[in-house]
Amino acid sequence: MDRIRIRGGRTLRGTIPVGGAKNASLPLMAAALLTDGPLVLTNAPALDDVRTMARLLEQHGLAVEHDTRTRQISLSGAATSLEAPYDLVRKMRASVLVLGPLLARYGEARVSLPGGCAIGTRPVDLHLRGLEQMGARINLDGGYIGATVSGRLKGARIHFPQVSVGATENLLMAAALAEGTTELLNAAREPEIGDLAACLIAMGARIEGVGTDRLLVHGVDSLHGATHPVIPDRIEAGTYACAAAITGGEVLLEGAKLAHLGACARVLAEAGVELDEVPQGLRVRRVDGLRGVDIMTEPFPGFATDMQAQTMTLMCVAEGASMVTETIFENRFMHVPELNRMGARINVHGSSAIVRGVARLSGAPVMATDLRASFSLVLAGLAAAGDTVVNRVYHLDRGYEGVEAKLAGVGADIERLRD
Ligand code: UD1
């Protein structure tokens, strides 16, 4: 298993290119099941999760071409298999996003239940309940979701009791090909939902209310191919903003968009990080010392749970205390013991963590536990005195492209140790 070694203490300066969003690419790729296509996605990132989704769609019978040089993914063809097998779904929960499109287009799907993951139980009940409201019959058997519908899915009024990004995406795709109008209430408003809606509209879907929590989808009989650019990855941008901030540097995040950061932008500003939108992207600069800020994760435009671990690392070396409250996932503090091993002072009480800022972290061997937690340890390593070795880097490779190259390009002392 690869590891990453970082010698801390370098100030980061320069330009970091921000790639296409992982969390936008996965549902966009699943949307290819709604048409014979071709659906061409430009600005697609070369990430392990994207490769897993490509494999899943190939397994369903689609032709997938991923040109990592031009950053283009082309998906075409009809599904020949309606089953998403366990060995692929267990690798990546977002695989469940094939359920809505398969059911809407082919009237049938069998998708392995994704099960739990390191950051929490993460059920899919909201996806299933919504599809049932649209006329699907759902049967859970042998670890699989069996779904069928006689005729087409029917438009329905679906009120989510809780905001879910994945359920909103699954139902948006299903509703695009349903008979009649579907109303999605308390829908997620993440920029990735807007991106999926824009792509579906380019494919011929009729969707109103994009960017709001009430999406109105007038089903159409068929969708056609389209070419769609993937939005920049706001989590990658926010993560590198933290890297610039924790090293006291100045970095241009090429292609990043301020509006996509939601409350993260305000939190960073309160912590003493300057963010300026410029034509090429986002300029990030720390002027003075970092200040502690209280954070609570919420659905967009609130503070993103996917930025919680990285921001907590910033708070570890900020002046004063910060309270970090996680409201989306129940077990998303696995980075805390590792950060404490590097000299951080963090206490967890239920879903909140109190972070007392220290002057300096010290390098140590640490273990990555999930995707975003991995980067929080890289950030700690950038700021720490001495060497940090992050183990289990495969988590990082799921969602960050070219971490060492991007960080070394702005002056970090970082290398991958291959086994
Ligand atoms: C997506 C993102 C993930 C991010 C998360 C929250 C992708 C591929 N992943 O995950 O990076 O951290 O949004 O912003 O886009 N829930 C239920 N029942 C359901 C569905 C969800 O109880 O049927 C709960 C979850 O357990 C969680 C909360 O709702 O507590 C939000 O989850 P959701 O927004 O669905 O996250 P994902 O779509 O899985």
Phi, psi of 117 (to 5 degrees): -145, 175
- Helix 263-270 with 308-316: angle, nearest 10 deg: 0
Query: What pLDDT sits at residue 331?
Result: 83
* pLDDT score at 271: 97
- CB distance 124 to ligand 1 below 6 Å: yes
pLDDT in tens, 128-175: 999 999 999 999 999 999 999 999 999 999 999 999 999 999 999 999
Q: How far is the CA of 259 from the centre of ligand 1 (A)?
A: 21
* Radius of gyration, alpha carbons of the chain: 21
CA 305 to ligand 1 centroid distance, Å:
10
Pocket of ligand 1, candidates 29, 122, 327: which has the most ligand atoms within 8 Å of its Cβ, to mutate?
A: 122
Q: What percent of the chain has pLDDT over 70?
A: 98
**Residue 369 confidence (pLDDT):** 87
126 lines ligand 1 (CB under 6 A): yes
Q: Which residues of 67-94 are buried (b: 16+ CB within 10 A; e: fewer)?
A: eeeebbbbbbbebeebbbebebbebbbb
* Over residues 182-201, mean pLDDT: 98
pTM over 0.75: yes
Which residues, at least 6 apart from 374, have a Cβ–Cβ distance to it below 8 Å?
368, 390, 392, 393, 395, 396
Q: What distance in Å separates the CA atoms of residue 299 and residue 297, rounded to the nearest whole number?
A: 7
Ligand 1: distance of its center to the CA of 164 in Å?
Answer: 5
- pLDDT at site 348: 97
Is pLDDT of 121 > 70? no
Q: Is 27 in the pocket of ligand 1 (CB under 6 A)?
A: no
Q: Which atom of ligand 1 is nearest to the CA of 125?
A: 23
303-329, pLDDT tens digit by residue?
Answer: 999 999 999 999 999 999 999 999 999
pLDDT in tens, 328-338: 998 899 999 99
Peptide bond into 301 cis (omega under 30): yes
CA of 323 to the centre of ligand 1 (A): 23
Question: What is the band of 115 on the pLDDT scale with cuts at 50, 70, 90?
Answer: low
Distances (CA, A) of 82 to 25, 63, 85, 102, 104: 21, 15, 10, 7, 12
Ligand 1 pocket, mutate which of 96, 165, 311 (most atoms under 8 A from CB): 165
In a 13 Å sphere around the CA of 66, the CA atoms on its Cβ side amount to 18
Q: What is the mean pLDDT of residues 85-89?
A: 94
Q: Mean of the pLDDT values across residues 213-218? A: 98
Judge contact between 335 and 357, C-beta under 8 A: no
pLDDT of residue 330: 84
- Ligand 1 near 123 CB (within 6 A): yes
Q: Give the DSSP letter string of 107-169.
A: SEEEEE----BTTB----HHHHHHHHHTT-EEEEETTEEEEE-SSS-B--EEE-SS--HHHHH
How much is the mean pLDDT over the chain?
Answer: 96
Is 308 close to ligand 1, i.e. is its CB under 6 Å away? no
Q: What is the pLDDT of residue 119?
A: 57
Give per-residue pLDDT as tens, 348-399: 999 999 999 999 999 999 998 888 899 999 999 999 999 999 998 888 988 9
Tokens of 341: 């091993």
Lateral strand order in the sheet of 63-67 = 63-67, 72-76, 39-42, 226-229
From the CA of 289, how far away is ligand 1's center (Å)? Answer: 34
Ligand 1 center to residue 166 CA distance, Å?
Answer: 6
Active site residue 117: yes
CA angle 75, 81, 86 (to 5 degrees): 95
- Residue 120 pLDDT > 70: no
- Which atom of ligand 1 is closest in space to residue 93's alpha carbon? 39
Q: How confident is the model at residue 1 (pLDDT cuts 50, 70, 90)?
A: confident
Q: Is the confidence at residue 268, as pLDDT, over 70?
A: yes
**Greatest pairwise CA separation for the chain in angstroms:** 64
Strand bridging mode 39-42 / 226-229 = parallel
CA 372 to chain centre: 9
Ligand 1 atom closest to Cα of 121? 26
Q: Which residues contact 279 (CB under 8 A, 6 or more apart)?
A: none
